[in-house]
């Protein structure tokens, strides 16, 4: 089961009352039914290494050198991608870098602001 987080501050220090939740950190309270509806309707949020929210079509850059498995090729720091696509599974991002389509974890990239 997913841990309840405050919709305002995103902290998980939440008190459960009979008809509502209350955040210990910021004091925000909300109805239990609203939490269930939000969880069903919410899309997965993917954040880069610096906490920026990523979306389909964003351009990202590598923050560290990564050796590609099964190859002698290395993706260097600062290598930029073509527009990314968010996917479900072990790797959150699919993109093209240096002419290769690869799957990456979001913790190894940063969002490039145009």
* Whether residue 7 has pLDDT greater than 90: no
* 11 and 50 housed in the same domain: no
Sheet of 20-23: strand order equals 14-16, 20-23, 29-31
Q: Name the domain count of the chain.
A: 2
Give the CATH number, domain containing residue 20: 2.20.25
CB 100 within 8 Å of CB 62: no
**Among 37-41, 63-67, 108-112, which stretch is predicted with the lowest mean pLDDT?**
37-41
Q: How far apart are CA 94 and CA 106, in angstroms?
A: 10
* 72 and 90 housed in the same domain: yes
| pLDDT tens digits, 97-114 | 988 889 999 999 999 986
* 66 and 101 housed in the same domain: yes
Residue 112 DSSP symbol: P
Structure-block tokens of residue 4: 């309840």
* 77 and 104 housed in the same domain: yes
* 81 and 101 housed in the same domain: yes
| pLDDT tens digits, 66-76 | 998 888 889 99
Structure-block tokens of residue 40: 């069903």
């Amino acid at each position: 089961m997913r841990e309840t987080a405050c919709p305002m501050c995103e902290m998980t220090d939440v008190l459960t009352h009979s008809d509502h939740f209350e955040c210990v950190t910021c004091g925000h309270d909300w109805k239990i039914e609203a939490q269930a509806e939000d969880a069903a309707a919410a899309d997965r949020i993917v954040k880069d290494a610096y906490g920026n929210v990523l979306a389909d079509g964003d351009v990202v850059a590598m923050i560290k050198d990564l050796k590609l498995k099964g190859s002698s090729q290395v993706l260097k720091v600062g290598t930029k991608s073509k527009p990314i696509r968010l996917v479900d599974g072990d790797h959150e991002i699919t993109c093209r870098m240096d002419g290769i389509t690869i799957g990456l974890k979001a913790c190894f990239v940063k969002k490039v602001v145009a």
